[in-house]
Structure 1
Amino acid sequence: MGFLPRLQHQVWLLAFGRLLSQVGTGFTLFYAPIFFVNQVGLSATAVGVGIGSASISGVIGRALGGSFSDSKFWGRRRTLLLSAMISAIASFALAIAYNFPTFVIGNLLMGLGTGIYWPATEAVVADLTTPEQRNEAYSITRLSDALGLGIGVVLGGLLISTTGLYRALFVVDGISFLVFLGVIYFLIKETNRSMSSQSQWSGWKIALNDRRLMIFAIVNTMFTTYIVQIDSTLPLYLTNFVRVTGEKGFEPGTISLFYTGYLTLSVLTQLPIAKLINRMRRTQVLMISAGFWAVAFGCVWLTGTVHHGWAIATFAMLALGIVTYMPSAASFVVDIAPESVRGVYLAVNSQCWALGYFIGPPIGGWALDQSRSIASGYWLILIGTTAIAVLILRVLDKMVSHSPSA
């Protein structure tokens, strides 16, 4: 196993727990929009708004998660336990959702649980690693996420194709969160050794006054908006707007294969790319990631307007965009964060995901409720935004280029 990085066993245990949790998430992530539009009867816009509503509670959850992670009472471990419990309840709520209000309630709970989770889990990884190890450590945890999602997508696709029981997917998701809770409770120890006696809200003052972090938050929100397109907009676009046979788009089973290939490529390239990008500044890697996203969106446009065969290239480019973005973004934030408020800095980083999920699904859903030309042109607009992202990253790169760890 010499090809694996030498990391503390706690990092591997956390990665294993995340893999189990993501299996359940994979059951629902790519099929929820299709189910609630095509079977429950909600419009694509309503589903986009519902999924985006998770960002409302997610903002609160991330603020709490960052402050709790740095606090003497909560710490990282208790914060993770709280997030797993709330997420399990959210999954079971979505399993019985039957209209727009109940769909929103489930998503609000899921946003809260997810928001509390991310600052704590990212802080645990940072606590247990050196700056030189972080790209690979974050890659290991992201690899676990991707592998779990891949297994979940495959199993979810099999369950849907054989039984059609979409609601069972949410039940499995809830069970996976309970299993993750058990892993945290029995196997994960508290890792925060720098708990400050100062008010945790003073940590937010430090973070919000850091110009590097605020500039990064702008471009990071753009990246997370891109990522949510994979989850909420792309499956519906491939189903309803791509011509495969006559006017019909891809079947759910075919979409499942695409996502499985995308996640498999993410798994296979995660560690090699993490080793490669160790030689570069984080900001430089993020510029490369923006380029991959631009090519990916171009391939989506070609899939819908030229030939459906471009879908394969789309998912290949999406995988490369993800694996270059994920470890570099988290590592950059840890690099610039004072150790005593590491959880709060990572909470700001995580808030970008809440904003991305607020912006992305409603806009994507609106585009898919319009004509075919507007739905296809949406991907061209996204290409244009990647150029803006690169310009912002160039500014940030100049600010941090004096620091080899950034």
Structure 2
Amino acid sequence: MTFRKPTLSWLPQLNSQVWILAAGRFLSGIGTGFTLFYAPIFFVNQVGLSATQVGIGLGSASISGVIGRILGGSFADSKFWGRRRTLLLSAAVSAVASLVLAMSNNFHIFVVGNLLMGMGIGLYWPATEAVVADLTQGEQRNEAYAITRLADNLGMGIGIVLGGVLIGATGAYRELFVLDAISFVVFFGVVYVAIAETYKPGEREQQAFSSWATALRDRSLLIFCLVNIIFTTYISQTQSTMPLYFSNFLRVEASGKGFSPTTISALFTWHLVLAILLQMPVVKIFKRLSHPYALCISALFWGLGFSLIWFTGVAASSQLVWAILAMGVFAIALVSYTPSASSLITVLAPESQRGVYFSINSLCWAIGYFIGPTVGGWALDQPPVVAHGLWLGFALSVAITIGILQYLNQILNAKNAEGNAK
């Protein structure tokens, strides 16, 4: 009698290190979820900082995050650091940052903790994206990026739920930051034990400055950066502007007020759960499409979602139904964007410069997350007609996004034709 080893044929056939990295990211995501929504509440209501001070402290992470992303890209492409050591450094800095935040009892320590956290996150993204690119090829990459993003989102969702349960049962906010630090230590251990160095320097390794200069002269990359900033501006709206819009600018027929905090929380939970469920099916559908074409489809979903948000604001009834539809459409838009965008970077980047290219990609997120809340906050401070019109403006902007992607697709096709001719 023979026994067959059971297999999960529906799962992508990926390098084992990709699965190990995804497991580490899942555990780290749980720690991030512990503190994501609860840090502002804790530092305002229990530590006694003002909302302005908390905003400044959280914003300071973006400043150090830019520095971290630049260093992370350069380190990931260096012989000494490479991808693995950069990930280890990122986990160590992030663990220290969480402990500093756990001990924070005044504004200055709070800022130091956020500066360290921004640095750790900045170091992390170029290196982890480059590892996935190194370990995969072709159509595999979309599935690999989908798996790691799924691990991030699933971990974060579980962390948010567990954090809420812990706070509800004990009120122990500081312990959440300690748990976050432990998650980074676990991630450090996973990388140290199970992840091998994947960086393979070319025959003529470029110095950091030269590598950045070469990347910034890549027209295809610069065009992608423009469209990537637009996409990340879209994404930031769902996390920064939309909750306040739902609360303050809707007039639900039963109460004449906006959605309650419980309803808003349920809407975003629905969005996250649907994104988790759809991540792999959407990637399987999109994996045979060119990356610019897949991003065009994502842009159409963003446009539809923003149109539904506009209709939610101006509709006389059934606002909750329209909001549920909108958040569902945004889930599809998000899961069709992230793997395609990361895979496109691997197409654009020379193998020895993937760290720098992913660093530039990550900087686009930092810029988008600066532009999005700024524009959204300004619009919500204006008369309601402007606040409602914001979403219609974003929906119309999708035409520009698709136009840029079509231009990028033409450039990439011309490059491929030129390469085939040679």
TM-score (norm 2): 0.86
Amino acid at match of 2:326: T
Amino acid at match of 1:112: M
Match of 2:390 in 1: 378
8 A Cα contact 1:34 1:236, kept in partner: no
> Does 2:169 align with 1:157?
no
3-state SS in 1 of match to 2:240: helix
Amino acid at match of 1:267: I
Q: Greater CA deviation, 395-404 or 263-272?
A: 395-404
8 A Cα contact 2:49 2:107, kept in partner: no
Match among 360, 365, 368 for residue 348 of structure 1: 360
Match of 1:387 in 2: 399
CA distance in 2, matches of 1:229, 1:72: 39
8 A Cα contact 1:52 1:359, kept in partner: no
Amino acid at match of 1:227: I
**Following superposition of structure 1 onto structure 2, how do residues 61-140 of structure 1 map, counting pairs within 5 Å?**
61-95=68-102, 103-140=110-147
**Structure 1 residues 221-243: Cα deviation after superposition (integer angstroms, max 9, x where no partner):** 11112222223333333344444
**Compared with structure 1, are the counterparts of its residues 95 and 296 closer, same or farther at alpha carbon in structure 2 (3 Å cutoff)?**
farther
8 A Cα contact 1:30 1:235, kept in partner: no
**Compared with structure 1, are the counterparts of its residues 284 and 360 closer, same or farther at alpha carbon in structure 2 (3 Å cutoff)?**
same
- Return 5+ residue gaps in structure 2 as ranges: 1-7
Larger radius of gyration: 2
**Compared with structure 1, are the counterparts of its residues 35 and 311 closer, same or farther at alpha carbon in structure 2 (3 Å cutoff)?**
farther
Q: Give the C-alpha shift of residue 97 in structure 1.
A: 5.2
Q: Give the C-alpha shift of residue 164 in structure 1.
A: 5.2
3-state SS in 1 of match to 2:295: helix
The alignment yields a C-alpha RMSD, in angstroms, of 2.8
Match among 187, 208, 213 for residue 221 of structure 2: 213
Q: Give the C-alpha shift of residue 191 in structure 1.
A: 1.1
Match among 309, 317, 327 for residue 339 of structure 2: 327
Q: Give the C-alpha shift of residue 131 in structure 1.
A: 1.7
TM-score (norm 1): 0.89
> Does 2:284 align with 1:269?
no
Match of 1:286 in 2: 295
**Compared with structure 1, are the counterparts of its residues 35 and 178 closer, same or farther at alpha carbon in structure 2 (3 Å cutoff)?**
same
8 A Cα contact 2:73 2:356, kept in partner: yes
Q: Give the C-alpha shift of residue 247 in structure 1.
A: 5.7
8 A Cα contact 1:34 1:235, kept in partner: no
Q: Greater CA deviation, 149-158 or 29-38?
A: 29-38
**Number of aligned positions between the proteins:** 404
3-state SS in 2 of match to 1:354: helix
Q: Give the C-alpha shift of residue 377 in structure 1.
A: 3.3
Q: RCO greater where, 1 or 2, for CA within 8 Å and sep 6 or more?
A: 1
8 A Cα contact 1:129 1:137, kept in partner: yes
3-state SS in 2 of match to 1:308: helix
Match of 1:225 in 2: 233
**Compared with structure 1, are the counterparts of its residues 32 and 314 closer, same or farther at alpha carbon in structure 2 (3 Å cutoff)?**
farther
**Compared with structure 1, are the counterparts of its residues 52 and 391 closer, same or farther at alpha carbon in structure 2 (3 Å cutoff)?**
farther
- Return 5+ residue gaps in structure 1 as ranges: none
Match of 1:318 in 2: 330
3-state SS in 2 of match to 1:309: helix
Q: Give the C-alpha shift of residue 38 in structure 1.
A: 7.5
Amino acid at match of 2:276: V
Q: Identity over aligned residues, as a percent?
A: 58
Amino acid at match of 1:54: A
Amino acid at match of 1:237: Y
**Compared with structure 1, are the counterparts of its residues 133 and 22 closer, same or farther at alpha carbon in structure 2 (3 Å cutoff)?**
same
Match of 1:258 in 2: 267
CA distance in 2, matches of 1:7, 1:293: 30
Match of 1:301 in 2: 310
CA distance in 2, matches of 1:380, 1:103: 38
